[in-house]
Amino acid sequence: MSELTAFLTAHGYVRVPLRRSVVGHFHTDGTLNGRPVEVLVDTGAAITVVAMSVVQAVGLRSEWVNREAGGAGGALDQYRVEGAVLRLGSLVPRLAGPAGLDFEQVNAPSGRTGRPRST
């Protein structure tokens, strides 16, 4: 174990394994209220975003807010999400937000399917 790793571990930091996508984004596995999710780690994001398909599948409460969120794919309706507990191994990060966004229109043209996504 390196000195830096030992120092950080001694001060409560937890190692979270990351992998890179083909476009260079960092991902890790986690759970949202006990349900396995793939997490895109976006270090520049102002808030935590959860796909509305995941919000609905997990049964989280959500409420539409009268403002759009910007990002990949243009403006999307934004929802306030309550009761979300994200785990990355033993780490339970404090979530800024979270907000629910409907990514179906963004993912549809690419034909993406598979595991639900959240950040």
Burial letters 52-82, b for 16+ CB under 10 A, else e: bbbbeebebebeeeeeebeeeeeebebbebe
pLDDT lower than 50: segments of the chain: 113-119
Q: Residue 10's pLDDT is what?
A: 95
Q: Residue 33's pLDDT is what?
A: 96
Q: Residue 69's pLDDT is what?
A: 76
Reported pTM: 0.75
- The pair of three-digit structure tokens given for residue 107, joined into one six-digit string: 């993912």
CA 55 to CA 111: how far, in whole Å?
A: 21
Q: Residue 72's pLDDT is what?
A: 58
Q: Could you report the per-residue pLDDT of 70-90, keeping only the tens digit for each?
A: 665 677 888 999 999 999 999
**At 22, is the secondary structure helix, strand, or coil?**
coil
Ordered structural domains, the chain, with CATH: 18-118 (2.40.70.10)
Q: Residue 24's pLDDT is what?
A: 94
Q: What is the DSSP letter of 95?
A: P
